Amino acid sequence: MSRREGSIIAVAVLLAPLAKMVEFAAIPAIGGPDILVCLAICVGWSCDVWNALPAGFALGLIEDIVTGRALGSRAVSLALAAALAAGMKRVVNPDSLSSKALAALCGTTLADCVTWGILASMGIHIATTHFLRGILVPSALWAAALVGPLEFTVKRLASAVQSVWPAPGRTGRETAL
């Protein structure tokens, strides 16, 4: 894992509880964005698959703990969403905002469908029409709209974190000549 990827993952994990608090306090529960799926997709877009997978799992586990949802249901789905975004950047233009929006649409759809399936297998049933109209479509549209600004924010915070810690092998006491 590179310093860049590590700092992006650290920033995303540190932002996760704050994002959930903002969702609970300021955003309507039905039809609002799921900021953590957007964070998982941003991590996936910025890291390779093998780093995105555990990072997405950690983000989902944070969401499961904060929301009191069935433990692991969101962790698995956000891990898959992050891995999907990491894989998609290989086949689309990684610098294009429309490619990021497409990854957000696909990743959110995958994450929500996996969560719905996991909850159904546990005996927690959500009506199909409510799932499609109240959860899946708004969540995917919000993710497509938020992935650009959120990725920009995460990358800027990660670069600030990188500038605070010296590179490996450097003590931070060297001076430029």
pLDDT digits (tens, 9 = 90+) for 61-114: 998 888 887 888 899 999 999 999 999 998 999 889 999 999 999 999 999 999
Q: What is the CATH number of the domain that holds 133?
A: 1.10.1760
Q: Which domain holds residue 125?
A: 3-158
Q: Is residue 174 part of a domain?
A: no
Instruction: Please write down the long-range contacts of 168-176, taking CB distance under 8 Å and 24 or more positions apart.
Output: 168/3
Go through 80-89 and write b for each residue having 16 or more CB atoms within 10 A of its CB, e for each that does not.
Answer: bbbbbbbebb
pLDDT at 81 (0 to 100): 96
Spell out the residues 6+ positions from residue 172 whose beta carbon is closer than 8 angstroms to its own: 166
Percentage of residues in the chain having pLDDT higher than 70: 93
Q: Is residue 11 part of a domain?
A: yes
Q: How many domains does the chain have?
A: 1
Q: Is residue 132 part of a domain?
A: yes
Q: Is residue 54 part of a domain?
A: yes
Q: Is residue 164 part of a domain?
A: no
